[in-house]
Structure 1
Amino acid sequence: MSKQTNLLNFLKRKEPEPATTTTDEEVMPESSTPAIEQNTFETQRTETEENEDLLSSLERDPGLRIPMWDYPYEKRDQIRRAYLKLKPYQPILKSFSFSSPDSHRRRFRSSCNWKKVNDGNNCPFITHVGGSPCSAHNNSVRAKLDLLNDRGHIRHALIAQGEEQIKRNRLRLRTSIDVVRYNDEVSKAIENPDYNAKYVASSIQKEILQIISAKVRNHIREEIGESKFCIIVDEARDEARREQMAIVLRFVDKNGSIRERFLQLVRVNDTSPTTLKRELCLVLKEHNLLVENIHGQGYDGASNMRGEWNGLQALFLADCPYAYYVHCFAHRLQLALVLCI
C-alpha cells in the first residue's frame, strides 16, 4: 500500500510554488515551459520554416523550373503538393510569337477563353477532358486529389500498423513472462531450485523452450479439434543459409471465430515441391492432423509453390480436391510495394 501511495504522490501534478521577491542578482527564468515542450515547439517551427522556404523558392515558370527527377526521392511528393497548392501558373507576355506558316499565321492570345469556343460545344477543352471517366485528364485529376490527401498515404497505414504490432508483441511478451512466473510447476522449479541449479546453460534453456513450444502446439491442436483447416507455408533462409519452412494453420474454432496459429518452423534440405510436401505431411502426422482435412493452401508466387503441374499446391490438390490454392495477399502487397518503390 505504501508503494502505491508513493507512486501516486510521484505522479501527482505539483502545484506551482508561490512567487518570491527576487534581488538584482537573482534572475527569474524567461519561460516555465519544460525543455521537452520547447524542443517540440522548436522542431515544429523548424519544419514550418522549411516548408515556407520551400514554397518561396519554387520556380513558377514551367520552362525554368527544376525537373522533378533532380530533387531527392523523399522530397518529390512534397514538391508536387507544393506546386499543386500554388495553383496553375500562366506566364503572360506582351506579345507571343507566331507558330503557323506565313499563309495562315496564328499565335496564342492570353485573353482568349478556349472553354467557350463554339459556345462550349466540342470545344478543345471538352475534347481534352474526354467523355470517359477513365480518360487521361480524369485519371490525372484523381491522381492529383490522391496526392493532396496526404493522410491517405500508405505510409501512415504502415506506421499505424507497425505501432499496433509493437504493442501486441509487447503484450505477448508480458503475458509469457506472467505465465512463466505464476505457473505453479515452473515457478517452484525456478524459485526453489537445487543447490547447484542456475538454469543458465544453453542446453537447459533450449529444453525449457522446447517444453513450452510443445505445450503451445498441443493447445493449438486442441483448438482445431476435428475442424477443417488451411495451410499457409513460406520458405526462407536463416543466417547460416539453411533452408527453413514456416507452417501456419488457419481454421475456425469451436466458437466460430477464425484463427491463425503459427505451428512450427521446420528445417528442410531443399525447397523442391516433393521435399516440402514430405516434411509438411510429417508435421501434420505428428499432431494427428489428417491431410484430407486440408481445405485451402496459401503460398507465395514461386514456381515450386504455385506450379500448376508439379508445384506444392498441385501435389496437395491431387490428394485433397478441396484444397484450393490462393496466392498469399501479404506477398502480393510486398510485390506491389517493391514495384512502387
Structure 2
Amino acid sequence: MGCKIRDDNLEKVKALMYFKILIDETTDIATVSEIIVYVQFLEDRMGCTVFLSVLPLKDGKAETIFNAQITFIEEHGLDIQKMCAFGSNGASVMLGCENGVAARLRNFVPHLINNHCVAHKLALAVRQASRGIPYLLKF
C-alpha cells in the first residue's frame, strides 16, 4: 500500500516547481532504525503535506541519513534543485551546521532553507515547561 501512495505522490512532486522534504527518525517493531519522508508543497495556494516513503537505516549517523535521502531522490527521478527547504527535528545529526544532514544537502542545493519542525519545538518546550509542575511530570 505504501508503494502505491508513494508512486502517486511522486508523480505529483515531479510536476511541482518547488517542494520541501521533511524527515523524522523512527524505529519499527523490530527495532530497525528508519526515517519517514514527507514532502510539502503548495497546491491551489494551500499547503499540502504528503507521505513519500519509509527508508531503512543501518545507523542514525548524518552520513547514513543523507545518503539514504539522496539515493531515494535520485532513484525516483526527483530534481534535487527543486527542493527549497528541509525540515527535521533539531538534533545536531539533522541540523548541525558543519556535518548535519542539512549542511550536507546544502552542498547540493545552495538555496536550501533548513528549519526545526514546529511540532518537535513544541514538544521540547512543553517538556521543559513541565519540569516545575509536579502534575505535568506524571502526565
CA shift, 1:276, in A, is 0.7
Mapped contact 1:233–1:246 kept (Cα < 8 A) = yes
Q: How far apart in 2 are the matches of 1:222 and 1:237?
A: 28
- Choose the corresponding residue for 1:332, options 103, 107, 121: 121
Mapped contact 2:73–2:80 kept (Cα < 8 A) = yes
Encode CA deviations 1:210-256: one digit per residue, 9 max, x unaligned.
xx332222221232214211111111222322211110101123x33
* Alignment-derived partner of residue 244 in structure 1: 34
Give the TM-score normalised by the residue count of structure 2: 0.85
* Alignment-derived partner of residue 59 in structure 2: 270
Q: How far apart in 2 are the matches of 1:304 and 1:266?
A: 17
CA shift, 1:322, in A, is 1.5
Q: How far apart in 1 are the matches of 2:71 and 2:108?
A: 15
Q: Write 1 or 2 for the structure with the bigger share of strand.
A: 2
Q: How far apart in 1 are the matches of 2:80 and 2:49?
A: 18
CA shift, 1:327, in A, is 0.9
- Choose the corresponding residue for 1:304, options 80, 83, 93: 93
CA shift, 1:333, in A, is 0.4
**Which amino acid is 1:338 matched to?**
R
**Which amino acid is 1:233 matched to?**
I
CA shift, 1:273, in A, is 1.2
Gaps of 5+ in 2: 131-139
**Match runs of 1:1-341 below 5 Å:** 212-224=1-13, 225-253=15-43, 255-341=44-130
Give the TM-score normalised by the residue count of structure 1: 0.36
Gaps of 5+ in 1: 1-211
Paired residues, number: 129
Q: How far apart in 1 are the matches of 2:102 and 2:9?
A: 24
Identity of aligned residues (%): 26
**Structure of larger gyration radius:** 1
Alpha carbon RMSD of aligned pairs, Å? Answer: 1.4
Q: Write 1 or 2 for the structure with the bigger share of helix.
A: 1
* Alignment-derived partner of residue 135 in structure 2: none
Q: How far apart in 2 are the matches of 1:279 and 1:321?
A: 20
| Higher RCO, 1 vs 2 (CA within 8 Å, ≥6 residues apart) | 2
Mapped contact 1:304–1:311 kept (Cα < 8 A) = yes
Encode CA deviations 1:65-88: one digit per residue, 9 max, x unaligned.
xxxxxxxxxxxxxxxxxxxxxxxx
